[in-house]
């Protein structure tokens, strides 16, 4: 019996880590990738200790050659990749006067380019089999909000929405579904950073105006990713699902 295979970028911490655990508990073989080698390896080991199937590979999603070779390796080793969760991303606070071309390109190359590269690499194998699911992480800052001193992040996450829609249409005839997730305020290391994001106090304040009364946990997003990869979402493609506790609809 074939064990379904999911490849996750940025799987060492936060939403990526929670997703790796959730997919493993749902019966997937999880291919974890990250530039954070220690965190990624530890997560893989934890999954294996729980009785799941997992392996870690170092991957910088800016590296086209390494991305392509890793996908080829996984397909050779396990026969196929059933789902991809393109989660790797960064968010650096940079006011416009300090936003150099280099800083702009760095964020776009990871947050948007990284999604494109892993999807492009996985698509041929999925096309050959006539099935597959690609899931990309956007953000509420990419679908509804602007974020001061983070225009490069907002632009990249908006780009993910366009990428999802374009790929969904192009790949649908080959049986491949492409969807996105736009998380709201989720309690991750990124959000807890006072230097680059809300910080702990900011997250606590945010909970006051979220209709469900709390900020999200990585698991809240991970479970949606598992759903989108599953046959339960078989007629959903080209969509970006907002996971924000009602934040966007509640701000009026």
Active site residues: 153
Q: What are phi and psi of 27, to 5 degrees?
A: 95, 10
d(CA 152, CA 148): 10
Structure tokens, 10: 């940025």
Q: Helix (H, G, I), strand (E, B), or coil: what is residue 202?
A: helix
- DSSP string of 117-164, one letter each residue: HHHHHHHHHHHHHT-EEEEEE--HHHHT---TT-HHHHHHHHHHHHHH
Per residue in 232-241, is it b (16+ CB within 10 Å) or e — as a string?
ebeeebbbbb
CA-based nearest residue to 82, from 133, 33, 25: 133
| 134 DSSP β-pair partners | 84, 178
């Amino acid at each position: 019996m074939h064990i379904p295979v999911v490849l996750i970028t940025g799987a060492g911490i936060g939403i990526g880590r929670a997703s790796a655990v959730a997919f493993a508990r749902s019966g997937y073989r999880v291919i974890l990738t990250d530039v954070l080698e220690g965190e990624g390896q530890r997560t893989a080991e934890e999954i294996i200790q729980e009785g799941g199937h997992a392996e870690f590979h170092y991957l910088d999603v800016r590296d086209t050659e390494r991305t392509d070779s890793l996908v080829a390796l996984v397909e050779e080793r396990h026969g196929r990749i059933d789902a991809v969760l393109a989660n790797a991303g960064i968010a650096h606070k940079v006011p416009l006067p300090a936003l150099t071309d280099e800083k702009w390109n760095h964020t776009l190359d990871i947050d948007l380019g990284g999604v494109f590269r892993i999807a492009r690499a996985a698509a041929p194998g999925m096309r050959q089999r006539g099935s597959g699911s690609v899931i990309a992480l956007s953000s509420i800052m990419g679908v509804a909000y602007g974020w001061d001193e983070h225009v490069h992040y907002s632009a990249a996450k908006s780009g993910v929405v366009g990428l999802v829609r374009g790929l969904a249409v192009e790949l649908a005839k080959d049986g491949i579904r492409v969807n996105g997730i736009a998380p709201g305020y989720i309690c991750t290391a990124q959000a807890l950073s006072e230097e680059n994001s809300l910080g702990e106090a900011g997250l606590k304040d945010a909970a006051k105006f979220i209709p469900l009364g709390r900020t999200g946990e990585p698991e809240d997003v991970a479970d949606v990713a598992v759903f989108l990869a599953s046959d339960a979402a078989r007629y959903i493609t080209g969509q970006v699902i907002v996971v924000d506790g009602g934040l966007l609809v509640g701000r009026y």
